[in-house]
Amino acid sequence: MDSLPLDELTAAIRRNGLVRFLEQYEKSHPDLHLKDLSVEALDDDRGMWVNGRRVVNFGSDSFLGLDRHPRILAALRRGVEKWGAHNGTSRAFSSVEANVEAEAKLARWLGVEDTLIYPSVTLTNLGAIPALVGRQDLVLCDQLGHHSLQEGMRLAQAAGAKTGLFPHADPEKLRLALDEAGPYRLALVCVDGIYSMSGTVPPLAELDRVCRERRAILYVDDAHAMGVHGPRGRGTALAHIPDPSNTLVVGSLSKAFSCFGGFISCSRELKKILKMRSSSFVFGGPVPPAYLEAVCEACDIMESVEFMRLSGLLARNIRLLVEGLAERGINCLGGGTPIVTVLVGDEEDALRAGKTLFDLGYYVQSVTFPAVEYHRAVLRLQVNSNHRESDVQGLAESVASALGKLHEKKRAA
């Protein structure tokens, strides 16, 4: 029988450069390749069971440990009792009250006029960026901006907007890029608040200044910062931009909030327009209602002394890790946020160091191309409030030992 078109298609896309590159890694390093792990159980101290063995998980974005918090778990249970598993309709038709309340609570906590919730940050960026611009406008994205910002920009481009990248976190080069890309009616400049692979914060006040001078709006994807960075955990934009009224801030409800979804800060007027123009909002389903009840509870936690307790533990753990690494001669990128990144360089070395750490009882993420530039592979250590002090100290020591092993191997070769 002739092969089916679907089989031919599968064979053809297997020949794609990226697929070949990743498959080659899987084949050449089957023992190092800690991707696609199947997790059997979790505990309250970030224990994670894989193949019957407990390792401490330093790969979670639930920075405040709210994923195990009794108040969040109780809100989810209440939500399921009240609303069932899912209401199953696009919000273009209706929204459950919990959604309306969650948006109002987020706005109150941030001190902004309103917010609009989407089912994820990816869907926020894919929905909002093309919705915010027209054919006469320009979208520029930081060259290391999150993939979903760049995808949102491509959708805007497909609808006729001019687009481009500008050099990473560089306000002067942004100014040049805006000048070169003109004329335009208005520009949208997209950046991350905390870069997810380096844990660094860009110079937001300077970027905002350039935007104002060049008829541009700053769009900050603050997925990793919301709930953990700056006064009251309100993120990088509100912490570093003196007057954020020309800034749109996107936050995650799936990371520090440990619930589900993404949102954008906006005026009431803009919210109405985004609800009409964001395809991911109109044509897709919403966050399940029980999770919206949990978002409301998380907002209450953010406004309470419990937040101070949790963020205090997080700050202590970040400090312990960064100092523990520095004492052992290891510099990290960033260092002031819960994403602590150690640059390794070579892809195989990063995978090998990750595997050594795993064998020592710590799970961290070895991040390689294409998530980072080629030969800029990193170990990404995500610090949480509910990591035990002894585990954070143990991780610093084990990172030093894993990197030491790599150096020994190189010397012997």
Ligand X SMILES: Cc1ncc(COP(=O)(O)O)c(C=O)c1O
Binding segment for ligand X among 23-31, 96-104, 114-122, 211-219 (CB under 6 A)?
A: 114-122
Q: How many whole angstroms from its chain centre is CA 139?
A: 21
Does the protein bind ligand X through residue 99 (CB under 6 A)?
A: no
Q: How many residues are listed for the chain in this entry?
A: 413
**Core vs surface per residue 362-376: b (16+ CB within 10 A) or e:** bbbbbbbeeebeeeb
Among 60, 62, 122, 280, binds ligand X (CB under 6 A): 122
Among 46, 91, 175, 224, binds ligand X (CB under 6 A): 224
CB of 28 to ligand X, least distance (A): 27
CB of 152 to ligand X, least distance (A): 10
Three-class SS state of 26: helix
CB of 118 to ligand X, least distance (A): 9
**By the 8 A CB rule, do 178 and 163 touch?**
no
The partner residues of 381 in beta bridges, in order of sequence, read: 340
Residue of 341, 391, 291 lying closest to 43 (CA atoms): 391
CA dist 215 and 53 (Å) reads 55
Q: Which residues contact 321 (CB under 8 A, 6 or more apart)?
A: 340, 381, 383, 392, 395, 396
Among 221, 297, 349, 391, binds ligand X (CB under 6 A): 221
Omega of the bond leading into 286 within 30 degrees of 0 (cis): no
Q: What is the DSSP letter of 61?
A: -
What crossing angle do the helices spanning 289-302 and 97-110 adopt, rounded to 10°? 20
Sites for ligand X among residues 28-57 (CB under 6 A):
none
Does the protein bind ligand X through residue 67 (CB under 6 A)?
A: no
Binding segment for ligand X among 99-107, 218-226, 310-318, 384-392 (CB under 6 A)?
A: 218-226
Q: Which amino acid is at 404?
A: G
End-to-end CA distance of the chain: 52
Q: Which amino acid is at 212?
A: R
Does the protein bind ligand X through residue 142 (CB under 6 A)?
A: no
Does the protein bind ligand X through residue 120 (CB under 6 A)?
A: yes
Does the protein bind ligand X through residue 121 (CB under 6 A)?
A: yes
Among 60, 247, 254, 384, binds ligand X (CB under 6 A): 254
CB of 406 to ligand X, least distance (A): 27
CB of 120 to ligand X, least distance (A): 3
Does the protein bind ligand X through residue 229 (CB under 6 A)?
A: no
Binding segment for ligand X among 7-15, 41-49, 117-125, 202-210 (CB under 6 A)?
A: 117-125
Does the protein bind ligand X through residue 169 (CB under 6 A)?
A: no
C-beta of 254 vs 311, nearer to ligand X: 254
CB of 200 to ligand X, least distance (A): 12
CA dist 317 and 64 (Å) reads 11
C-beta of 129 vs 320, nearer to ligand X: 129
Does the protein bind ligand X through residue 223 (CB under 6 A)?
A: yes
Give contact residues for ligand X (rule: CB under 6 A).
120-122, 146, 148, 192, 196, 221, 223-224, 252, 254, 262
